[in-house]
Amino acid sequence: MTGQSWHELWMLFLVVLAIVGFFTGQALVVGFAGMALLTSGIAWAWNKLSLVDLSYTRELSESRVFAGESVTLTLTVTNRKPIPLPRVRIEDELPEELRIGGTEGEPGSSPHTRTLKHSTSMSWYERIRWEYTVKCTEPGFYRLGSVRMESGDLFGFFTSHATTPGKEYLLVYPRVVPLAELGLPAVRPLGEVLSGSRVFEDPARPAGIREYQLGDPLKIVDWKATARLQGLHVRTFEPTSTITVVLVVAVETMSRRWEGYSRLHLDRVITAAASVASYSAERAYTLGLFSNGTPILADRPMRVSPSRSPEQLTIILEALATLRPFEAAPMATQLSEHSRRFPFGTTLAIVVAFMHPELALVIGDLSRQGHKVVVVYVGSGACPDLPDGVIVHEIGGYFDRLGVGSEYGQA
């Protein structure tokens, strides 16, 4: 039976008692029933008003931080009415990945959450504030959960509850490490050639047409000019020495999907990718992203078109922070289907923790198509053999020394 039902039965009993006392001339019974009715009425009204004008706010000192940094979480409850509250109970549901300094919290009602609880009393027009330091250990997009507030009357007869969904969020960027600390060469880790010594044609800068030569790709054939001049002609483009880097981030960490995933290796993949992105942005390279993972906010493969925009690094870091651990499709399949869309001469920086044999074959095809391929291997042990011309950096041992992802163990 609910509290409301008990209350109705209690009030009905008091009314009947008062009527019986009145007709039997029992003044004491009538007085007792009247006092009880008055007390119950006051308690009922007090309870109804307990959550009125009672506000609760959560404020984060920063909404975007890097993994390893801390933010301040400020919780404020305000009673904006001339009625004191003998008890106020508040339960915050927070992601378990966010470590709250000074408290462990309790397991939450939702998966992967913990509950932060506060109990207090409040006088009229009082404000109470709590502050916590939140340690952000893992990259990701974290939305703070719902808030449950509870209060009641002065006598403890009744209780009111209110639950509000969480609106606040925290975006934790991946950790960025200097490439030299990851074990990559300090000079030209992506195999860059000094400006001017390696020149490509830029499809965005047309220069004219010329006759077809053996080996020219069909995609540059100008069919209108061919028909007009009665001979096969191709488009020509002005040269450019701009370096285009596309980060290829493979989220596979196990040989078979049903085995789950390794949090350690996924964290290392994301950290290495973020570090390469930062290195490329510092040198004003044209930068893009391709991944077979899916972001938290969209159920599709992650792709960011190459750009030299000042905001490009931020966009890519946000994309990496929201990657989910399971692939939309194997990287070998995704990369093979997408390979023709990469600009000619693109440097593909492939960050991977598990090298599937099919992916090795696709990497060889990309190298033969004229792309410079750099594999950043963060898995345990040695990287499997890859075709000649592919640059391979094995940096799993450097991650061991840095302790990146070590809190997850080996699975």
**Whether residue 141 is found in the same domain as residue 68:** yes
How far is residue 288 from each of residues 46, 174, 299, 320, measured CA to CA in Å?
60, 17, 19, 12
Nearest CA to 331 among 247, 274, 254, 249?
249
Report CA Rg, the chain.
Answer: 32
Asked, for residue 45, whether it belongs to a domain, the answer is no
**Whether residue 293 is found in the same domain as residue 403:** yes
**Whether residue 259 is found in the same domain as residue 348:** yes
**Whether residue 228 is found in the same domain as residue 321:** no
**Whether residue 361 is found in the same domain as residue 378:** yes
| Total count of domains within the chain | 3
**Whether residue 322 is found in the same domain as residue 192:** yes
**Whether residue 361 is found in the same domain as residue 397:** yes
Q: Which domain holds residue 183?
A: 179-197+241-408
Q: Tens digit of pLDDT for each residue in 222-243?
A: 888 888 888 888 887 655 557 8
Asked, for residue 93, whether it belongs to a domain, the answer is yes
**Whether residue 97 is found in the same domain as residue 228:** no
Q: Report pTM.
A: 0.73
One-letter amino acid of 177: V
**Whether residue 221 is found in the same domain as residue 364:** no
Burial 108-133 (b: 16+ CB within 10 A, else e): beeeebbbbeeeeebeeeeeeeeebe
Helix 312-321 crosses helix 263-282 at what angle (to 10 degrees)? 180
Q: What is the mean pLDDT, run by run of 10 residues, along the chain of 411 residues?
A: 53 57 59 63 81 92 90 94 91 87 73 86 92 89 90 81 88 90 82 52 66 78 81 72 85 74 87 93 91 72 84 92 82 86 85 90 87 90 84 86 56 40
Average pLDDT of the residues of the chain = 81
Asked, for residue 34, whether it belongs to a domain, the answer is no
Q: CATH number of the domain that 104 lies in?
A: 2.60.40.10
CA 185 – CA 392 distance, rounded (Å): 11
**Whether residue 137 is found in the same domain as residue 255:** no
**Whether residue 211 is found in the same domain as residue 306:** no
**Whether residue 315 is found in the same domain as residue 369:** yes
DSSP letter, residue 257: G
Asked, for residue 12, whether it belongs to a domain, the answer is no
pLDDT at 195 (0 to 100): 44
Q: CATH number of the domain that 291 lies in?
A: 3.40.50
Answer for the pair 312, 281: CB distance below 8 angstroms, yes or no: yes
Task: For the beta carbon of residue 251, count every other beta carbon within 10 angstroms.
Answer: 25
Asked, for residue 61, whether it belongs to a domain, the answer is yes
Asked, for residue 136, whether it belongs to a domain, the answer is yes
Asked, for residue 67, whether it belongs to a domain, the answer is yes
Asked, for residue 191, whether it belongs to a domain, the answer is yes
Answer for the pair 285, 243: CB distance below 8 angstroms, yes or no: yes
